[in-house]
Structure 1
Amino acid sequence: MASSSTTLLSLFLFLFLNLNLSESRLTLDYYQKRCPQFQQIVQQTITSKQIQSPTTAAATLRLFLHDCLLPNGCDSSILLSSTPFTKTERDNDINLSLPGDAFDVIVRIKTALELACPNTVSCSDILVTATRDLLIMLGGPHFNVYLGRRDGRSSISTTVNGFLPKPTMSISEITKIFTNRGFTVEEMVALSGAHTVGFSHCSEFTSEIYNNSSSVSSSYNPRFVEGLRKACGDYRNNPSLSVFNDIMTPNKFDNVYFQNLPKGLGVLKSDHGLFSDPITRPFVETFAADQDRFFRVFAKSMEKLSLLGVKTGRRGEIRRRCDQIN
């Protein structure tokens, strides 16, 4: 009798542990049986949205970076809306300029998936998959997306402070943010290459282009500064004024961003810093000369970033709506 009880207990523990392991394991084909339409729905939705709003890809990439770099990692906490009791990450000052197109495309995908496969696909998996596929649409590199994440249940504005790079930061400050999260300097520079697409608001760099000090003026190409001043002339009355980060190929994911930096065609202070800093400059020069190298390091870094702080099993949930916990 005792032997039979022991056998049953051992069997129970075996099944329990294996269920937990299967819940916690990220795989490339996680939704193959759970939601066979997953990839098709993502593809159809992002294609439609990108055609409608060509800034969607760059916007989604930025949203992804702002979610995964935080201490709680890739758990789509950036998508949660504030409540009367809690100000979320989304409403931290640094995130107020996150473009609406990125939030919209995630909502569209989630809505379609909830109709096809209710309570099955997490917002976290949607965000990383949409980011990867949108980048490929712009000519960027493929990287593996391991699936099976759960969504976080917490999002607090104050946790953002000090964990996201600001355009006014020095390169040493930005480097520290990434190295503290386990990235090398080369990987940090590669991820900065995300600026090869997208735009920056004039308010983020006007202090630079209207500064007449010799150190600032020598960083920018003189004709480029003149063009930026014209484009941003009315920024005080129109805070939404912005310019492309890469003026040469703004809608193509390539290495032209790095080729622009030695020519003084960087928009932000942090862009110029990558080339002027002796530690990061060699990587800028390598990526400018070798797009394949840039793509390889960028893809590796994005995969690494997508796995930071991932929640699985009971550590998270599958939200029914991406902007609120269940």
Structure 2
Amino acid sequence: MASSTCYFAGLSLLCWLLASSSTASAQLSPNFYVTTCPHLENIVHFTMAHVIRQDHRMGASMLRLFFHDCFVNGCDASVLLDDTPTLQGEKNAYPNQNSLRGFEVIDRIKTSVEARCPNTVSCADILALAARDAVKLLGGPTWTVPLGRRDTTTASMSAANANLPPPTANLSSLISLFASKNLTARDMTALSGAHTVGLARCSSFRTRIYNEPNIDASFAAVQKSACPVVGGDDNLVVLDMSTPIRFDNGYFKNLMARQGLLHSDQELFNGGSQDAWVRLYARSNHAFAQDFIVAMVNMGNIAPLTGSSGEIRRNCRFVN
């Protein structure tokens, strides 16, 4: 982690990127497809812009797909694999059931990329670029994505069930889960800011709004109208009531007002070690954007397959 001197000198992004350099990042390069598929980023951005104009939710969905991919054995597109008679994918793992969406968007991008650059670009890299463009198109920051990942030929239902943080997790569990992926608590808090967009199902926050003391009473009352004590498990509520379709620091302002929708959200501002980061991000959208960029690059460096490992899938849903 960058030193406080480095941070307050206004060099947070540069210093933290240098401090967070790794073998994985050295194997990836933003220029990986510069000669083999020079129009790749334009293709991804054009498709994402069209999709998000039609459905703003898809921006949050792309972020969630990328997160759920990287946290299960690395950023290798395992989350995109369908079940087959010989392979059990991750789509039906408990954290993914009825919550992941946007697979058809990746299919659409992949088809366009294959038409221009056949057998060249991995599904894992397409997902990383789609997540970046989703943030930008919702009004958030943009960044250079290191590329060169390859696609796995396997998936792990058990890892998906074990490695993805549940909405009921406490702070120590969250820190431990992120540390297991070489992500710091600061990374974790910045990445959690992705909950400034998107929706959550009633079943993931019912216990919080009815039973937890660290919640604003008027906020809880509003949520109870959409999430009854019994039934309505699949009813959807926005994670950030203030600016639900804009990527900004509203999430952190909500936490300070005790209006985090998920238990795991409010744990970041509950008298613990992350309170100072929440205060900083609530005060400065710029500070949040800088740290979110670094955290996304760090997450994208989780155990990528490179070189001759894995493959370049022709169809993101199936092994070649």
User: TM (normalized to structure 1)?
Assistant: 0.87
Pair 1:251-2:245 in alignment: yes
What residue identity is the alignment partner of 1:87?
Q
Q: Specify which structure has the higher proportion of helix.
A: 1
What residue identity is the alignment partner of 1:73?
G
Match of 1:222 among 205, 217, 229: 217
Q: 1:115 to 1:235 in 2, by over 3 A?
A: farther
8 Å contact 1:122–1:319 — kept in the other structure?
A: yes
Bigger radius of gyration, 1 or 2? 1
Aligned to 1:118: 118
Distance in 2 (CA, whole Å) between partners of 1:277 and 1:107 is 44
Question: What is the CA-CA distance between 1:59 and the residue it aligns to?
Answer: 0.5
Question: What is the CA-CA distance between 1:25 and the residue it aligns to?
Answer: 4.4
Q: How does 1:1-326 map to 2 (within 5 A)?
A: 25-70=27-72, 72-100=73-101, 102-211=102-211, 216=212, 218-233=213-228, 236=231, 238-326=232-320
Question: What is the CA-CA distance between 1:235 and the residue it aligns to?
Answer: 7.0
8 Å contact 2:196–2:249 — kept in the other structure?
A: yes
Q: Which consecutive unaligned segments of at least 5 residues does structure 2 have?
A: 1-25
Question: What is the CA-CA distance between 1:267 and the residue it aligns to?
Answer: 0.5
Q: Which consecutive unaligned segments of at least 5 residues does structure 1 have?
A: 1-23
Q: Percent identity over the alignment? A: 39
8 Å contact 2:87–2:154 — kept in the other structure?
A: no
8 Å contact 2:227–2:233 — kept in the other structure?
A: no
Question: What is the CA-CA distance between 1:204 and the residue it aligns to?
Answer: 0.3
Of 55-64 and 154-163, the range deviating more from structure 2: 154-163
Distance in 2 (CA, whole Å) between partners of 1:202 and 1:78 is 24
1:274 aligned counterpart, secondary structure: coil
8 Å contact 1:150–1:318 — kept in the other structure?
A: yes
Question: What is the CA-CA distance between 1:234 and the residue it aligns to?
Answer: 8.5
Give the 4+ runs in structure 1 shifted more than 4 A.
none
User: TM (normalized to structure 2)?
Assistant: 0.88
Distance in 2 (CA, whole Å) between partners of 1:291 and 1:99 is 28
Distance in 2 (CA, whole Å) between partners of 1:99 and 1:48 is 20
Distance in 2 (CA, whole Å) between partners of 1:140 and 1:75 is 25
Q: 1:233 to 1:112 in 2, by over 3 A?
A: same
8 Å contact 2:201–2:233 — kept in the other structure?
A: yes
8 Å contact 1:199–1:245 — kept in the other structure?
A: yes
| Count of residues in correspondence between the two structures | 295
Distance in 1 (CA, whole Å) between partners of 2:43 and 2:229 is 41
RMSD: 1.6
